[in-house]
Amino acid sequence: MNLLLSPAEIGGLNLKNRVGMSPMCTYEVKKKDGIPTPFHFTHYGSKAIGQVGLVIIEATAVDPDGRITDYDLGLWSDDQIDQFKQLIDHIHSLGSKVGIQLSHAGRKAKHTKRPISSTDEPFNDSYQSPHNLSTQEVSEVIHAFKEAARRADQAGVDMIELHGAHGYLINQFLESATNNRTDHYGGSLENRFNLLKEIITETKSVISLPLWVRLSASAYLPESNQNSINNWQTVAKWLEDLDIRCLDISTGGVVNKKPNIDIREGYQVPFAEAIKRESSIDVATVGLMQSPELCEHVLKTNAADFILQGRALLRESNWPIHAAKVLGVDSINFYNDSYRRGFSI
């Protein structure tokens, strides 16, 4: 039986297949107001027409100073809800479930006048030195995530993913290399986990949607300077106890250093597999997964439960239909007969 293109319950959602659109920043909010534009309707709608089971809207800032750039989407104001609702309704009407990734860039916020972090060290020389948050200011960040989640729920998403990867604020707290605090949010792994834990707890107080978390399971630093895979397995168990429904496992982005590894198809799968091996929580994998055969193999060997596609979907919005052809699956749905004819020769 084919797994990639068969219906499945993943991360608290009933999905028509195991193909998701990874949240990828597009930097297309030219008015700098965080509100979706016609571009976003076309960009995400095309993936729904192409039969992606779950479309996850790109990193959406919980605070205007938490944007990666001024051209990011945002949900820091109730004024932004209506246009997000229209976008989400549009994607739903085309047949896909919809998620959204909520994020705060922390010290990697390029355009803010006062970036914040768990450290006072900048990401690199082209970034400003961040303000190391006070305990009270951490509470304000937690509240911002909570309110953004409430707005996303009002807009009609099916799930919410908290961005705890790629060196953004939550990840900055989780890694000792970027957390030099001595309070409740620094020091031990358990303390460094407190920001994410409290965001989850507060978010769950206002929504009942499935919550997912994206993690960077390696910073590509020496073992003594980063969380080990055993540390991340511990974090996964804590997240399972908090009823997180799926872990989206990526790597990198914590420090300004390129990984000294072979970047090849499926290079992040071993990290997802290690997390899955030590917990019963659903696990998604991402990163150069363009080969349908590789995706099917990963699922059948139980290395992961769900495949998130990034660049493959930027190249080919109909990637699930392409995958069906490669894997010899006849039961794939088409949006309409016109699209079916496009693949009939």
Mean pLDDT over the full length of the chain: 96
Instruction: Answer for the pair 260, 218: CB distance below 8 angstroms, yes or no.
Output: no
* DSSP state letters, 71-87: TSEE-SSGGGHHHHHHH
In the block, tokens 């995706």 appear at 295
Q: For domain 8-342, which architecture applies?
A: Alpha-Beta Barrel (3.20)
Crossing angle of helices 81-93/38-49, nearest 10°?
A: 20
Q: What 8-state DSSP symbol labels residue 127?
A: S
**208-224, pLDDT tens digit by residue?**
999 999 999 999 998 88
Domain parsing of the chain, residue ranges: 8-342
161 to 69, 86, 267: CA distances (angstroms): 20, 20, 22
- Tell which residue, 188, 177, 191, has the closest CA to residue 138: 191
E strands along 142-198, which residues?
A: 159-164
Distance CA 311, CA 143 (A): 33
Q: What is the pLDDT of residues 301-337, one digit of tens each?
A: 999 999 999 999 999 999 999 999 999 998 888 889 8
166 pLDDT tier (thresholds 50, 70, 90): very high
Q: Is the pLDDT of residue 98 over 60?
A: yes
Q: What is the pLDDT of residues 38-54, one digit of tens each?
A: 999 999 999 999 999 99
pLDDT tens for 240-275 read 999 999 999 999 999 988 777 778 899 999 999 999
Determine the residue type at 59.
A
| pTM of the complete model beyond 0.85 | yes
Cα angle 18, 19, 20; round to 5: 120
Contact of 106 with 185, CB cutoff 8 Å:
no
Q: Which two tokens stand for residue 307?
A: 């495949």
Q: How high is the pLDDT of residue 153?
A: 98
> How far apart are alpha carbons 246 and 231 in whole angstroms?
18
CA distance 220 to 177: 11
Inter-residue contact 42 to 83 (CB < 8 Å): no
CB 294 within 8 A of CB 268: no
Residue 345 confidence (pLDDT): 56
Average pLDDT over residues 104-127: 95
- At 342 the pLDDT is 82
Tell me the residue type at 321: I
318: CB partners within 8 A, 6+ apart: 49, 50, 51, 339, 342, 343
- Residue 196 pLDDT > 90: yes
